[in-house]
């Protein structure tokens, strides 16, 4: 990277981040849409020559500069960043009646990779496609705010049982359950990082139930699909609080224990 052009990371931290779609990326240039032009030039009052960071939502950042043409920004250079957790985290959430906007925002800030809204035996209200668009917008804004390299993917709504039947089975699958003597998530997550199997760190999936909790049948099916039942502590959390707690614990377990890639042996 050319340090003279970019300046130090402190200066980079002050630049506005703008998420762009792959189709907006041209050779050496970014084609800005109407909203981005308005935001950069009118709201932020940036002018020709002023810089911002463009992120493609798939891990790549560029330092960009507004050009003389309102619809174009010049790409100055790509910026190497590593802000993501070392493995992908999929959060499977039975749709709570309210509060999804906050769940999307918070779990994006905390590092989620994929959000799977599911209908469970005790939630049958299917959200409108508008809601999904709205959640995807919220995830994009939160990813910009938290300097994420990727924008989390929000899958279309499926039933929990279909999801279990269709998906492949990653090694680290957890289902959060209340009122049992299931081991604590932090203990399980740390154990999986420390065990010899943890050396092949794989994706993590975690499932959280609706306000009424999972039904026994769902828990059984999940366990048969390789989910380990886990606790988030002795208090019952609201369906919209539990995701932030689960994500924080997993992120802590992953970030406290360097992965094989991160640990450098002398
Ligand atoms: N009504 C249920 C609680 C539902 S809380 C009851 O009284 O038991 C909604 C979801 O959040 C639960 O299905 C579970 O997945 C998760 N959750 C909340 N608190 C939890 C805890 N202490 N441990 C594990 N999971 C919890």
What's the pLDDT score for residue 190?
Answer: 76
pLDDT in tens, 29-62: 999 999 999 999 999 999 999 999 999 878 888 9
Q: Which of 209, 219, 228, 229 to mutate to test the pocket of ligand 1 (most atoms within 8 A of CB)?
A: 209
Q: Give residue limits of the domains in the chain.
A: 3-79, 89-255
Contacts 24+ apart (CB under 8 A), 191-197: 193/253, 193/254, 193/257, 194/257, 197/171
pLDDT in tens, 211-236: 999 999 999 999 999 999 999 999 99
* Cα 144 to middle of ligand 1, angstroms: 30
* Cα 177 to middle of ligand 1, angstroms: 6
Q: Which of 184, 261, 265, 167 is nearest to 229 (CA)?
A: 184
Q: Which of 91, 227, 242, 245 to mutate to test the pocket of ligand 1 (most atoms within 8 A of CB)?
A: 242
Q: What's the CA gap between 175 and 157, in Å, rounded?
A: 18
Class of domain 3-79: mainly beta
Confidence of residue 263 (pLDDT cuts 50, 70, 90): very low
Q: What's the CA gap between 260 and 159, in Å, rounded?
A: 36
Topology at the third CATH level for domain 89-255: Alpha/beta knot (3.40.1280)
What's the pLDDT score for residue 201?
Answer: 60
């Amino acid at each position: 990277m050319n340090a003279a052009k970019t300046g130090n990371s402190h200066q980079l931290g002050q630049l506005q981040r703008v998420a762009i779609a792959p189709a907006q990326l041209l050779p050496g240039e970014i084609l800005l849409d109407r909203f981005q032009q308005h935001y950069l030039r009118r709201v932020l009052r940036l002018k020709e020559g002023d810089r911002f960071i463009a992120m493609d939502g798939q891990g790549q950042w560029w330092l960009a500069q507004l050009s003389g043409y309102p619809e174009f920004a010049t790409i100055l250079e790509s910026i190497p960043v590593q802000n993501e957790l070392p493995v992908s985290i999929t959060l499977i959430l039975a749709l709570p009646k309210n509060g999804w906007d906050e769940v999307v925002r918070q779990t994006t800030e905390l590092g989620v990779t994929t959000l799977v809204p599911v209908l469970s035996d005790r939630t049958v209200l299917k959200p409108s496609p508008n809601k999904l668009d709205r959640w995807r917008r919220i995830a994009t804004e939160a990813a910009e705010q938290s300097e994420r390299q990727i924008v989390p993917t929000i899958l279309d709504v499926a039933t929990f049982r279909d999801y279990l039947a269709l998906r492949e089975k990653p090694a680290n699958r957890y289902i959060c359950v209340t009122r049992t003597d299931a081991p604590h998530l932090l203990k399980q997550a740390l154990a999986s990082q420390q065990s010899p199997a943890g050396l092949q760190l794989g994706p993590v999936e975690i499932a959280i139930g609706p306000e009424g909790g999972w039904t026994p049948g769902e828990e059984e099916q999940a366990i048969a699909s390789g989910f380990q039942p886990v606790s988030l502590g002795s208090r019952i959390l609201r369906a919209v609080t539990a995701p932030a707690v689960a994500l924080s614990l997993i992120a802590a377990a992953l970030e406290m224990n360097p992965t094989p890639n991160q640990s450098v042996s002398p």
